[in-house]
Chains A and B, each alone.
Chain A
Amino acid sequence: MSILLTLYYEFFKIGLFAVGGGMATIPFLNALIDKFHWFDAAMLADMIAISESTPGPIGINMATFTGYTVASFAGGVIATLGLITPSIIVIIIIAQVLKKFKESAAVQAMFYGLRPAVAGLIAAAGLSIFAVTLVDTAAYQTSGNLMDLFQWLPILLFLILLYCTNKYKKHPIFYISICAVIGILLKL
């Protein structure tokens, strides 16, 4: 029971503080790793991939996935409900004063500060996912050879992907499926 309460509370907090949509929840999920050790950075990357390639808002999918990982079916439902509760409360309050809110200088000023910070937060969360995917600290520590620190094949694939995603604006599902096939063929 207490684990479900913890889940609800943690995702309520995420729903309350993650401003800017689905991707903005990633830094908070990453913070859960250090706090509870419910999952690791590699699993977080898997959850992001699956959440991007299945129907529904990414943020919701990730909450359900995380909740399931922690406490099975009930966990998935509770985490999702926790995430949406603050939205429902906040939006219902704002709905009464929509016009005022939209034109409020204070709201715009707060967002002026929030926008770059959210980008920084996602960059910080990306760091730990990059670390498990593109570097191999274990190999470096055993061999002491700096060349072993980098996983060259994934890095090469990463650079090719950066080029392709920016040149051909295809849906993320496309790149995710291609990478799954490449992963199997190259035994990454």
Chain B
Amino acid sequence: MKELADLFVTFAKMGLFTFGGGYAMLPLLEREVVDNKKWATKEEIMDYYAVGQCTPGIIAVNVSTFVGYYQKGIAGGIIATLGVVFPSIVIILLIASLIQGFSHIAVVQYALSGIRVAVCALIFNAIVSLSKSGVKDVYGILLFLFAFVMVGILKLSPVYVVVVSALCGLLIKKIQGGKK
């Protein structure tokens, strides 16, 4: 019980001090989980990231479930994950309830219009960096365009694109493997 409480508090602390998620949590994990608590080694954390990236869901959540599970079984996995999302839930609920009260004020609307431009730039950068690491050949370009057209223009659910593109990946690698 004490260990579960320790997992919850440690992960809640990391959730509270991570801005942005994913890799932003890495230095905190190294300090808290590797150095302080010795729940995992640095190499193990990198493994969890590698797997957390190619499994469904939020990377930070996936890594937390890993650490919690190896520490205290299924209960540990659940508790660590609840811990990491706990500060988010509290803070966002507070902000969301405030925003709804203030959003009709002119100054807030001007600020939000400015912020939206920043979001455009951030998303644009994310697309560029993901394309750089993901689009490596002509198949990559085709899959990028396929996803863009299906969801951006034909308004299909992204679910289909995820399933189809994973299958395409298997198929392409199978054909390429067969050639060798």
Q: Is B117 a contact of A179 with CB atoms below 8 Å?
A: yes
Q: For the complex, what is the distance from the CA of A86 to the CA of B163, rounded to whole Å?
A: 16
Closest to A132 in B: B116
Closest to A87 in B: B57
Q: For the complex, what is the distance from the CA of A9 to the CA of B92, rounded to whole Å?
A: 21
User: How far in angstroms is the closest Cβ of chain B from A50?
Assistant: 6
Q: For the complex, what is the distance from the CA of A37 to the CA of B61, rounded to whole Å?
A: 28
> Would you call the interface of chain B mostly helix, strand, loop, or mixed?
helix
State whether the Cβ of A147 lies closer than 8 Å to any Cβ in chain B. no
Q: Is A183 a contact of B112 with CB atoms below 8 Å?
A: yes
Q: Is A68 a contact of B58 with CB atoms below 8 Å?
A: no
Number of interface residues of A (CB under 8 A): 106
Q: For the complex, what is the distance from the CA of A25 to the CA of B58, rounded to whole Å?
A: 8
> With A17-B159, A117-B144 in contact, do A88 and B65 touch (Cβ < 8 Å)?
yes
Q: Is B69 a contact of A92 with CB atoms below 8 Å?
A: yes
State whether the Cβ of B166 lies closer than 8 Å to any Cβ in chain A. yes
Select one of B25, B52, B113, B131 contacting A188, CB under 8 A.
B113
Q: For the complex, what is the distance from the CA of A71 to the CA of B170, rounded to whole Å?
A: 40
Q: Is A64 a contact of B88 with CB atoms below 8 Å?
A: yes
Q: Kindly list chain B residues whose C-beta atoms are within 8 Å of the C-beta of A111.
A: 54, 166, 169
Q: Is A84 a contact of B85 with CB atoms below 8 Å?
A: yes
Q: Is B18 a contact of A56 with CB atoms below 8 Å?
A: yes
Select one of B22, B78, B144, B166 contacting A123, CB under 8 A.
B144
State whether the Cβ of A5 lies closer than 8 Å to any Cβ in chain B. no
User: How far in angstroms is the closest Cβ of chain B from A64?
Assistant: 4
Closest 5 CB pairs of A and B: A183-B114, A113-B169, A120-B147, A124-B152, A57-B21
15 contacts between A and B (CB under 8 A): A17-B158, A55-B88, A56-B88, A59-B58, A60-B21, A64-B96, A76-B92, A87-B65, A91-B77, A94-B55, A102-B50, A102-B51, A117-B147, A117-B161, A179-B118
Binding site for B on A (CB under 8 A): 13, 15-23, 25-28, 30-31, 34, 42, 45-46, 48-61, 64-65, 68-69, 73, 76-77, 80, 83-84, 86-88, 90-92, 94-95, 98, 101-102, 105-130, 132-134, 154, 157-158, 161-162, 165-166, 171-173, 175-176, 178-184, 186-188
Binding site for A on B (CB under 8 A): 15-22, 25, 47, 50-62, 65-66, 69-70, 74, 77-78, 81-82, 84-85, 87-89, 91-93, 95-97, 99, 107, 110-127, 130-131, 133-136, 139-141, 143-148, 150-153, 155, 157-159, 161-170, 172-174
